[in-house]
């Protein structure tokens, strides 16, 4: 489904420099040399630490999977399934489980998990139920990496009873009447009760471990993002207050100093008419100095207004460097300067909200942000490869963005369809006048 808030013509090309998220991080470090830089540079390290701890977690899970496979080959404990499926089928299922585990532990997902990952988790649960109860522990460990909050608890509320019910429902005569065959010498009720306890405690423990790891990972990610947002906003504030201060100084120079110098010139002209002798030369010289001063002040005023307008690149690079998942591909022109800081703010907030939306709603791996500058306009294009939305209704985020661009004389449109990601285009006139 295609939804458009406001449509306008596309602008032309612009000079661009490509920056991926690593490049952006490096650029942010470079841009923030000195005491500021120390903070900006911390972010990529924390991202690589997170990646390293996830790699260790993943290696441990895959090793456990390998050990379960080895156990099944050496001492198959589920004769029913071996009889029904045969050895090769079990091996194929075990390999499929391993492949799904490999794919699903590549990243820790946010509030909108990719549908494919949830489907793989369901497949893993089915294989674990068929092949080995030990694999259920790995599913319990993995579930909180894919599902967050209530969804992961709900998953466990289903997984544990199903895993207990599976052997109970098995066909008689294959030694799997009780969930844990080793307990078959106990009275049936006791064996079942102990089995339920065993399944619940071990799967609960595995789930708690996965949950702890995933929560810490997500919290660290969120902290890095919030830190980058703060740093970027600080750059933005510093740049815009610097600009505002220059404007104030240029106005004061023009209105106060300029005015008084003009008055001085007029008075000196009057004085020249009324003095004679050696004073004439002195007054003429003073007149010349006053004129030169007036010209200097005018030149300073225009230079203060002209030089170093508001450049957004540094703030955007810092903002983007705080997000490692989804991977952000940022393309910026050489400079992104605005005489009117409100225009820069509109673009900054648009990029910020797009990152937030992609994390909250899309479950995307990649986010492309492309800002182009044409002679007449500046255009922002944002696109992700997430799940998209059937009929997205603008909430506060998109409405706020559209309002900012409309106020700046531009516009915004977006489109999305299930499975086709979300894309947004916003534009505003390039030549904003200084406020
Ligand atoms: N990247 C995205 N992928 C999928 N859906 C999205 C995306 N961005 C926005 N949406 C949809 O558009 C809606 C409106 O977004 P927004 O105006 O930012 O409000 P909010 O984020 O507060 O829900 C969202 O609720 C969501 O359904
Ligand atoms: Mg939003």
pLDDT digits (tens, 9 = 90+) for 46-104: 788 888 889 999 999 999 999 988 877 666 555 545 555 566 778 888 999 999 999 99
Shared domain check, 280 and 187? no
Pairing relationship of beta strands 337-338 and 377-384 according to DSSP bridges? unpaired
Q: Counting ligands in written order, which one lies closest to the CA of residue 326?
A: 1
Check residue 149 and give its pLDDT.
86
Shared domain check, 23 and 75? no
Shared domain check, 170 and 150? yes
- Residue of the nearest CA to atom 12 in ligand 1? 392
Check residue 108 and give its pLDDT.
93
Domain span at 402: 17-46+309-429
The answer, yes or no, to whether any atom of ligand 1 lies below 6 A from the CB of 392, is yes
Check residue 88 and give its pLDDT.
76
The answer, yes or no, to whether any atom of ligand 1 lies below 6 A from the CB of 415, is no
Shared domain check, 120 and 257? no
The answer, yes or no, to whether any atom of ligand 1 lies below 6 A from the CB of 367, is no
Mutate which of 397, 405, 420, 421 for ligand 1 pocket (most atoms within 8 A of beta carbon): 397
Shared domain check, 25 and 80? no
Mutate which of 395, 403, 424 for ligand 1 pocket (most atoms within 8 A of beta carbon): 395
Q: Does some domain include residue 409? A: yes
Shared domain check, 205 and 279? no
Q: Which two tokens stand for residue 256?
A: 């106060």
Q: Does some domain include residue 12? A: no
Residues 6+ apart with CB under 8 A from 87: none
Measured from the CA of 396, which atom of ligand 1 is nearest?
17
Shared domain check, 214 and 66? yes
CA–CA separation, 96 and 185 (whole Å): 34
Cα(23) to centroid(ligand 2), Å = 26
The answer, yes or no, to whether any atom of ligand 1 lies below 6 A from the CB of 326, is no
Q: Does some domain include residue 150? A: yes
Check residue 320 and give its pLDDT.
93
Q: Does some domain include residue 1? A: no
Query: Last residue of a domain, which of 306, 336, 369?
Result: 306
Shared domain check, 323 and 199? no
CB 430 within 8 A of CB 375: yes
Shared domain check, 112 and 185? yes
Which residues of the chain are under the pLDDT cut of 70?
A: 1-45, 73-87, 167-181, 307-310, 431-435
- CATH (domain of 339): 3.30.565.10
Shared domain check, 323 and 422? yes
Check residue 405 and give its pLDDT.
95
Three-state SS letters, the chain? CCCCCCCCCCCCCCCCEEECHHHHHHHHHHHCCCHHHHHHHHHHHHHHHHHHHHHHHHHHHHHHHHHHHHHHHHCCCCHHHHHHHCHHHHHHHHHHHHHHHHHHCCCCCCCCCCHHHHHHHHHHHHHHHHHCHHHHHHHHHHHHHHCCHHHHHHHHHHHHHHHHHHHHCCCCCCCCCCCCHHHCCCCHHHHHHHHHHHHHHHHHHHHHHHHHHHHHHHHHHHHHHHHHHHHHHHHHHHHHHHHHHHHHHHHHHHHHHHHHHHHHHHHHHHHHHHCCCHHHHHHHHHHHHHHHHHHHHHHHHHHHHHCCCEECHHHHHHHHHCCCCCEEEEEECCCCEECCHHHHHHHHHHHHHHHHHHHHHHCCCEEEEEEEECCCEEEEEEEECCCCCCCCCCCHHHHHHHHHHHHCCCEEEEEECCCCCEEEEEEEECCCCCC
Shared domain check, 53 and 178? yes
Mutate which of 357, 396, 415, 419 for ligand 1 pocket (most atoms within 8 A of beta carbon): 357
Check residue 26 and give its pLDDT.
44
Shared domain check, 55 and 193? yes
Domain count, the chain: 3
- Residue of the nearest CA to atom 23 in ligand 1? 395
CA atoms within 13 A on the CB side of 383: 9
């Amino acid at each position: 489904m295609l939804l458009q808030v406001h449509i306008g013509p596309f602008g032309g090309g612009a000079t661009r420099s490509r920056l991926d998220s690593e490049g952006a991080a490096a650029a942010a470090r470079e841009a923030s040399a000195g005491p500021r830089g120390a903070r900006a540079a911390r972010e990529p390290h924390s991202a690589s630490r997170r990646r390293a701890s996830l790699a260790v977690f993943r290696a441990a899970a895959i090793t456990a999977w390998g050990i379960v496979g080895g156990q099944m080959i050496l001492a198959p404990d589920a004769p029913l399934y071996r009889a029904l499926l045969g050895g090769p089928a079990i091996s194929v299922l075990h390999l499929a489980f391993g492949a799904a585990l490999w794919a699903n532990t590549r990243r820790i997902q946010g509030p909108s998990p990719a549908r494919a990952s949830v489907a793989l988790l369901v497949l893993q649960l089915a294989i674990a139920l068929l092949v080995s109860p030990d694999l259920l522990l790995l599913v319990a460990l993995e579930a909180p990496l894919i599902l967050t909050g209530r969804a992961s608890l709900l998953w466990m509320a289903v997984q544990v009873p199903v895993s207990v019910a599976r052997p109970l429902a098995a066909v008689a005569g294959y030694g799997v009447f009780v969930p844990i065959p080793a307990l078959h010498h106990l009275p049936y009720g006791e064996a079942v009760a102990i089995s339920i306890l065993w399944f619940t405690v071990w799967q609960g423990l595995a789930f708690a471990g996965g949950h702890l790891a995933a929560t810490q990972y997500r919290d660290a990610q969120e902290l890095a993002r919030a830190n980058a947002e703060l740093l970027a906003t600080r750059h933005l504030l510093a740049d815009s207050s610097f600009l505002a201060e220059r404007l104030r100084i240029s106005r004061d120079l023009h209105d106060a100093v300029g005015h008084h110098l003009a008055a001085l010139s007029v008075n000196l002209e009057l004085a020249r008419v009324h003095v004679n002798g050696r004073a004439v030369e002195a007054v003429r010289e003073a007149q010349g100095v006053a004129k030169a001063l007036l010209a200097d002040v005018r030149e300073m005023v225009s230079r203060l207004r002209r030089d170093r307008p508001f450049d957004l690149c540094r703030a955007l690079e810092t903002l983007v460097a705080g997000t490692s998942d989804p991977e952000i591909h940022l393309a910026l022109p050489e400079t992104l300067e605005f005489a009117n800081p409100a225009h820069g703010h509109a673009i900054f907030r648009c990029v910020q909200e797009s990152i937030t939306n992609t994390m909250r709603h899309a479950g995307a791996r990649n986010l492309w942000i492309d800002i182009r500058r044409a002679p007449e306009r500046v255009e922002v294009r944002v696109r992700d490869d997430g799940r998209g939305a059937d009929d997205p209704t603008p909430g506060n985020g998109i409405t706020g963005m559209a309002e900012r661009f409309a106020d700046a004389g531009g516009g915004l449109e977006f489109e999305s369809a299930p499975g086709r990601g979300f894309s947004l285009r916003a534009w505003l006139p390039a030549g904003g006048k200084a406020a």
